[in-house]
Structure 1
Amino acid sequence: MGRARRPRPPHVPLRSASLTRTEGEWVVRTVPGSAASDRSYRCPGCDQLIPGTAPHVVVWPAGEYGSVDDRRHWHATCWAARDRRGPGRRRH
């Protein structure tokens, strides 16, 4: 017998995204640079611009209350360090 497959996470439409996962209270979607848009975003972790063509993650609250307006684009490293850094803190 084969291994049981894990259920797929619920689909939330987002253009050009590749991998979606749940991290606690958050849905996190990885966006590769090759699939990103030409729009820039401001990372809430470091307050720096993310060129739309750069790889990054898009994060929003999990559950029925998350909406398109709740999505935030983060540098993947800023998202990974969010517990140690806090929003908007820059490293010097």
Structure 2
Amino acid sequence: MPRSRRSAKRPYATEHVPLDVERATGGRRSESAADGEWVVQQVRGSDREYRCPGCDQLVTAGTPHVVAWRSDGLFGEALDDRRHWHRACWQARGRRAPTRRR
């Protein structure tokens, strides 16, 4: 009896699963605001602490937060300028004055 050429592994009858853009891009998205063009990435947490430029407080290790950098610079320069923000501070950055640098 001849064998079928169709693979049993490929599910021909299943529905198409749409692409999860969030997962495919690593959670990165572009944002345009009054303060420029930004690349923003949601981070679940990190093993390091960072200082939030919005409130000048620590983003403690393991805390979900936002990493943002300007997209209008060159690729290498922009990645060097990444900043780790609390999610609420990132969303409120247009309503707040810049914090003092230590």
TM-score normalised by L of structure 2: 0.62
Offset of residue 87 of structure 1: 2.2
Moved beyond 6 Å, runs of 4+: none
Asked whether 1:59 is paired with 2:71, we answer no
Asked whether 1:22 is paired with 2:30, we answer yes
Aligned positions, number: 74
- Amino acid in the other structure paired with 1:55: P
Q: Please state whether the residue corresponding to 2:88 is helix, strand or coil.
A: helix
User: Looking at CA atoms only, which structure, 1 or 2, has the larger radius of gyration?
Assistant: 2
Q: Identity across aligned pairs (percent)?
A: 53
After superposition, residues 1-92 of structure 1 pair within 5 angstroms as 18-24=26-32, 25-32=37-44, 36-65=45-74, 66-88=77-99
Task: Quote the Cα distance in structure 2 between the aligned partners of 1:38 and 1:77.
Answer: 20
Q: Please state whether the residue corresponding to 2:94 is helix, strand or coil.
A: helix
Task: Quote the Cα distance in structure 2 between the aligned partners of 1:28 and 1:70.
Answer: 12
Q: Which runs of 5+ in 2 are unaligned?
A: 1-18
More relative contact order, 1 or 2 (CA 8 Å, 6+ apart)? 1
Offset of residue 43 of structure 1: 0.3
User: Residues 31 and 86 (structure 1 numbering): CA distance in 2 closer, same or farther, change over 3 Å?
Assistant: same
Task: Quote the Cα distance in structure 1 between the aligned partners of 2:81 and 2:49.
Answer: 17
Q: Pairwise CA RMSD of aligned residues?
A: 2.5
Task: Quote the Cα distance in structure 2 between the aligned partners of 1:69 and 1:61.
Answer: 10
Offset of residue 38 of structure 1: 1.4
